[in-house]
Amino acid sequence: MKTKFVKKFAIAGALMAATAAHATDVEVLHWWTSGGEAAALNVLKEDLQSQSIGWTDMPVAGGGGEAAMTTLRARVTAGNPPTAVQMLGYDIQDWAAEGALGNLNDIAAAEGWNDVVPAPLQNFAKYDGNWISAPVNIHSDNWVWANKAVLDEIGVAQPHTWDEFVAAMAAAKAAGKIALAHGGQAWQEMVVFDGIVLSVGGADFYREALIERKRSALESDRMLEVFKRMETLRSYVDENFSGRDWNLASSMVINGEAAFQIMGDWAKGEFINAGKVPGEDFLCFRVPGSEGSMTFLADQFAMFNVDSAEAKDAQAKMASAIMAPSFQIAFNQVKGSVPSRTDIDRSVFDICAQKGMADLAYANATGGLVGSLAHGHGQPAALKNAAYDVVTAHFNGEFDAAAAVEELSAALESM
C-alpha cells in the first residue's frame, strides 16, 4: 500500500515538475533558418536560457514567411498555437482581429515601450490600443549588396543612378560574371519590385500606387517604367535563378561568382556570418534612384493566447528580453537589421547598419518611409499575394510590361 502510494505520489510529483518546467518554456515558430538568421536567433535563445526559459524550436523554412504562416494556421486550427510567432505587419493585425493574441500591456507599460518604439511599428504591434507583439528589429528591402573585389576587378565604382547600375551590370556580364544574383521565388521578385518602384517614383509614388492603390498611379507611365526596369534586371540574372533560395543568391555575391544582389538587409547577416567586412569585402547601398526613401518591415514576435500564469509569464519575459537595449544591439548586429527602439547608440553598429539607422531617421522625418508590400507592411495578405502573382508572372515572361501594369492594377483592386 505504502509503496504504491509513494510511487503514485512520486509520479504525480514528477509530472507536476515536468509541467512546471514546460510552462516556463516558449515554443517559437519562425522562418529564420539561413546561417545568418540562425546565428541571430541564437542570441535570443541564449538570452532566454540565461533566464531559465527553455526554447522549443519550430522552424519553417522559407524567406518571407509564407510557409510559416500556413503552418501557423494549421496549428491554431488544431487548437494548439505556439507560444510566440515571428510575424510581419498586417498578419499580426489579422490574428489580433481573430482574438488569437495575448496582451503585453503590463510589460510594455512597465518598460515604457510607448516612448521608444517608432509610431509606424506601433501601428502593427498594437491592436485596439493594446500591445500584442514585441518588435525585434527594423529591416528594409531596397538595398543592393555588392562584392567589392568583383567591382574592382571589372573597374566599376558603386553605381548611384539607375543608368550607372545598368552599365555596371553590363560590365559584370561582359567580364563573365553573373551580374545579378537572384532567387526566382515570388517573394524575392517582390523585394526587387519594392526597390524599383521607389527608384522610379520615390516614396510618394510607392504610397499612391501600392498602399493607397490609386489607379492614376498604378496605371501610370511610371508603373510601365517599373516593369521595364524589371525586364532589364531579368536580362542580368543567370539561367539557374528559378526557385533559388535568397541566401544561396547572397552566397554567390559573397564568393565572387556574382556582382550584385538586390535584397533586404538580412542579406548582410549572411556576409557577416561568412566573416566579411562591410566597406572592405562588400558594399551596401540603396537601389540606385531610391536613396532617401525606404520600404520598411519589422519582424515581431506575436504572443498567442495561453492559459497558465506561468506561460503568460514566460511570454512577458520573452517580450522583455526582446525589447532590452543590450539585446537589441547584440541581435541586430548579427541579423543585419536595425533596432526597433529609437534610443540605441548608432556608433556600436557597422557602417551598413549605421546607414540603415540614418536612412530610417531621414525617411521617417521627410515622408520617405513606406511599409514594404513584399513583406506584409503594405497590404493584408490577400492583396499582397495577388500582387506577388503578377510581379512574378511578368518576371518569368508571362506578360509584357504593358499587360503587367493592367494586371497589377486589377490585382490590387485599384480605386
Closest residue to bound ligand GAL by CB: 63
C-alpha cell at 386: 495577388
Instruction: Kindly tell me which of 47 and 299 has the beta carbon lying closer to ligand GAL.
Output: 299
Q: Which residue is associated with the grid cell 559584370?
A: 172
CB of 377 to ligand GAL, least distance (A): 10
C-alpha cell at 290: 531610391
CB of 67 to ligand GAL, least distance (A): 11
Residues interacting with ligand GAL, by CB under 6 A? 31-32, 37, 63-65, 88, 139, 246, 266, 297, 299, 375
CB of 287 to ligand GAL, least distance (A): 17
Instruction: Kindly tell me which of 90 and 266 has the beta carbon lying closer to ligand GAL.
Output: 266
CA distance linking residue 194 with residue 180, whole number of Å: 16
Q: What is the largest CA-CA distance in the chain?
A: 88
CB of 234 to ligand GAL, least distance (A): 21
DSSP labels, 29-87: EE---SHHHHHHHHHHHHHHHTTT--EEEEE---GGGHHHHHHHHHHHHTT---SEEEE
CB of 259 to ligand GAL, least distance (A): 21
Helix (H, G, I), strand (E, B) or coil at 313: helix
CA distance linking residue 382 with residue 367, whole number of Å: 26
CB of 140 to ligand GAL, least distance (A): 10
Q: 117: Cβ–Cβ under 8 A, 6 or more apart, which residues?
A: 125, 135, 340, 341, 342
Residues in the chain: 415
Instruction: Kindly tell me which of 247 and 320 has the beta carbon lying closer to ligand GAL.
Output: 247
Q: Which helix (H) or strand (E) holds 164?
A: helix 162-174
Q: What is the DSSP letter of 371?
A: E
Instruction: Kindly tell me which of 205 and 301 has the beta carbon lying closer to ligand GAL.
Output: 301
CB of 297 to ligand GAL, least distance (A): 5
* Amino acid letter, residue 106: D
331 within 8 A of 137, measured Cβ to Cβ: yes
Instruction: Kindly tell me which of 266 and 349 has the beta carbon lying closer to ligand GAL.
Output: 266
CA distance linking residue 398 with residue 391, whole number of Å: 10
CB of 222 to ligand GAL, least distance (A): 27
Name residue 139's beta-bridge partners: 297
Instruction: Kindly tell me which of 88 and 226 has the beta carbon lying closer to ligand GAL.
Output: 88
Instruction: Kindly tell me which of 31 and 260 has the beta carbon lying closer to ligand GAL.
Output: 31
Which residue from 318, 251, 269, 252 is spatially nearest to 38, judged by alpha carbons?
A: 269
CB of 139 to ligand GAL, least distance (A): 6
- Please write down the long-range contacts of 65-68, taking CB distance under 8 Å and 24 or more positions apart: 65/31, 65/91, 65/376, 66/187, 67/31, 68/29, 68/30, 68/31
Q: What is the DSSP letter of 49?
A: H
Q: What is the dihedral of CA 105, 314, 326, 302, to 10 degrees?
A: -60
Q: 42: Cβ–Cβ under 8 A, 6 or more apart, which residues?
A: none
Instruction: Kindly tell me which of 37 and 359 has the beta carbon lying closer to ligand GAL.
Output: 37
Instruction: Kindly tell me which of 34 and 83 has the beta carbon lying closer to ligand GAL.
Output: 34
CB of 38 to ligand GAL, least distance (A): 10
Instruction: Kindly tell me which of 139 and 341 has the beta carbon lying closer to ligand GAL.
Output: 139
